[in-house]
Structure 1
């Protein structure tokens, strides 16, 4: 809190949290949220793309002050950083077309289920007992991107897609929410928070206070609706 500028480390390819737009400008949900937090904290926030695999090292070496870009809270990470309060809920959700007869996880029996290759969605499905064995051909149909999976869902080549809710809500909001149905059942929950250094207690407290104010004022919810079509700010 002694510094006039605070450096935010992020992966500038992670749509829709923080990424470069077609003009080369940084944009995204986390970027918009950080710009509002900048006003509350009274500090200039500098956006610094980093090698995401080195994020904790960059933080603890003092090169950045925040790890802030869809950063999931885990027990392993809690040993390395001090987390802010959780600000965004996330699930591995099941997406179907709006007129689909699939309404629960059990209804996936015999269904063609897609997901992004090597994604946490695939990990979550495979960790859920033997459910993959109940899918058509006893396998998950994988794609390079979530966008490709949703295109196959629209074309009728898939019955359901499992994806990170944060990404799914963004794509669904872009394509038209009336086309899709997100089931109540899911393949697991997690949450995003901001990582700071263990000895930056004052910054963590100031951050949490500022974030609470953004929530109470409704600004955080507005940013969520802009990017995801819904308020999924953690309560």
Structure 2
């Protein structure tokens, strides 16, 4: 990074969940524009971007991605689970420094935060159980449809211009705190269909058994993920963008992508 003088050493990346992840990183002498440690706010149920494994550690694509950016920039990141509904409030109040967790870039969110360059494409897919008669967007009329509250998925549904959302049973989707709850609602039969982030939805379906589910050809739009940053933290934004370019050029990004999305 242009603003950092790198001194090779070995440090510990301390995650907010209490785990210590050893990394081959660097310690930085910073010119005052950057701190050495930042808190990343995330949803610990958003697999495969960030979630707790069987040992209780926070893992996932975004965790690996952030860790590699940290190695390049000489910064340490702490991972802090937050109430996803409050993410922008937590960021702008200074309780966290970054929103780095499958955070969709939208015009509405740009009014509240700055974004890094986009790093992953995503879609908002419609999922049903495999024996459902629902085959298209139009078939959602009169059906119970669920999604996560305060999510980009909900924003995409609210922005839909086809008018289908108003035709749902109840005139709106049923909302749950997490996408895990949303999938449980579908499996229990309380919902007829759900709308979810594709990267999360396909990961969960694989864990539960893909044969149980059907993904419609119709969806609620394509989007991109970025890192949410306070608007005044321009040096941090620049460091993350430079790191993203470098890990794409040196192949590290592809390695992380294959680890979490190859299958």
User: What is the TM-score when the length of structure 1 is the normalising length?
Assistant: 0.71
**Matching residue within 145, 148, 153 for 2:184:** 148
Query: 1:196 Cα deviation (Å)?
Result: 2.3
Tell me what 1:40 maps to.
72
Is it true that 1:183 corresponds to 2:216 in the alignment?
A: yes
Does the 8 Å CA contact 1:9/1:55 hold for their aligned counterparts?
A: no
Query: 1:168 Cα deviation (Å)?
Result: 0.8
Is it true that 1:207 corresponds to 2:240 in the alignment?
A: yes
The 1:92–1:34 alpha-carbon spacing in structure 2 relative to 1, beyond 3 Å, is: same
Task: Give a deviation string over 1:76-124, Cα, whole Å, max 9, x none.
Answer: 4324432101122332212245687765424x26785542375655664
**Matching residue within 57, 60, 67 for 1:25:** 57
- Count the aligned residue pairs: 225
The 1:183–1:38 alpha-carbon spacing in structure 2 relative to 1, beyond 3 Å, is: same
Query: 1:229 Cα deviation (Å)?
Result: 5.0
Does the 8 Å CA contact 1:10/1:18 hold for their aligned counterparts?
A: no
Q: Distance in 1 between matches of 2:82 and 2:191?
A: 36
Is it true that 1:88 corresponds to 2:124 in the alignment?
A: no
User: What is the TM-score when the length of structure 2 is the normalising length?
Assistant: 0.64
Tell me what 1:70 maps to.
102
Does the 8 Å CA contact 2:42/2:81 hold for their aligned counterparts?
A: yes
Is it true that 1:9 corresponds to 2:40 in the alignment?
A: yes
Identify which of structures 1 and 2 has the higher relative contact order when contacts are C-alpha pairs closer than 8 Å and 6+ apart. Answer: 1
The 1:150–1:76 alpha-carbon spacing in structure 2 relative to 1, beyond 3 Å, is: closer
Query: 1:222 Cα deviation (Å)?
Result: 4.2
Higher normalized strand content (fraction of residues): 2
Does the 8 Å CA contact 1:115/1:143 hold for their aligned counterparts?
A: yes
Query: 1:186 Cα deviation (Å)?
Result: 0.8
Higher normalized helix content (fraction of residues): 1
Pairing of 1:191-202 with structure 2 (within 5 A) = 191-202=224-235
Query: 1:31 Cα deviation (Å)?
Result: 1.2
Give the gaps of 5 or more residues in structure 2. 5-29
The 1:150–1:218 alpha-carbon spacing in structure 2 relative to 1, beyond 3 Å, is: farther
Q: Distance in 2 between matches of 1:56 and 1:115?
A: 23
Give SS of 1:86's match: coil
Does the 8 Å CA contact 2:43/2:83 hold for their aligned counterparts?
A: no
Give the gaps of 5 or more residues in structure 1. 231-235
**Matching residue within 146, 162, 175 for 1:115:** 146
The 1:228–1:138 alpha-carbon spacing in structure 2 relative to 1, beyond 3 Å, is: farther
Q: Distance in 1 between matches of 2:89 and 2:157?
A: 31
Task: Give a deviation string over 1:182-209, Cα, whole Å, max 9, x none.
Answer: 3332113333211223343333223112
Q: CA RMSD in A?
A: 3.8
Give SS of 2:253's match: helix
Q: Distance in 1 between matches of 2:71 and 2:122?
A: 26
Tell me what 1:233 maps to.
none
Does the 8 Å CA contact 2:43/2:84 hold for their aligned counterparts?
A: no
